[in-house]
Structure 1
Amino acid sequence: MDVHFPPHLEPDEVTRLQGLEQEYSHTLQQDGRLAAIWRVVGEYANYSVFNVGSNDELHQILGGFPMYPYMGIKVTPLAKHPNSLQ
């Protein structure tokens, strides 16, 4: 996920969205749907691993992020590797 706020967005609105984003992210982490999240160094971006039952569920989750309108999102579906110990 890459976040790109438009220049006209007021700083107070950015701060508000960041707070809402944090709350939403924490909820997803607590219920196990957001299994991991890593910051991309030097960018306003992250890599996240979601544990969901379907593509439709993932689409709904992504659309629920408060900053969704300002995100560039690339989804790469993953499957368990047969050599994985986990």
Structure 2
Amino acid sequence: MLFMVQMTVKKPHDIDPAVWADIIAREREYGQKFMKNGKFPHIWRVVGKFSNVSIFDVESTDELHQILSNFPLFPYMEMEVTALAKHPSALN
């Protein structure tokens, strides 16, 4: 199952910079684990925002929820999830 997920980070103004740096480092490591195993094959930055658009290739909505809710930045993110289906005009 393919899903497009737009993640927008809302950084707290009063967060300690060292705490934030640690969260960002853990976020990168966590996300790259799913990039390597094929569950998170695409990510694009949204220009001018602390936001990205990503594609997830998962077995179920429950698996997607588990992955997303365990991102270290999850408490600071707004997410919009869209289920995707193959377009009949697609070449592949």
Q: Does 1:54 align with 2:60?
A: yes
Paired residues, number: 86
Moved over 6 A (4+): none
Give the counterpart of 1:9 among 5, 8, 15.
Answer: 15
Q: How does 1:17-28 map to 2 (within 5 A)?
A: 17-28=23-34
Percent identity among equivalent residues? 45
What is the CA RMSD across the aligned residues, in angstroms? 0.7
Unmatched 5+ stretches in structure 2: 1-6
Q: When the two structures are superposed, what TM-score results if normalisation uses the length of structure 1?
A: 0.96
Q: When the two structures are superposed, what TM-score results if normalisation uses the length of structure 2?
A: 0.90
Q: Does 1:67 align with 2:73?
A: yes
Task: Return the structure number with greater relative CO, CA threshold 8 A, min gap 6.
Answer: 2
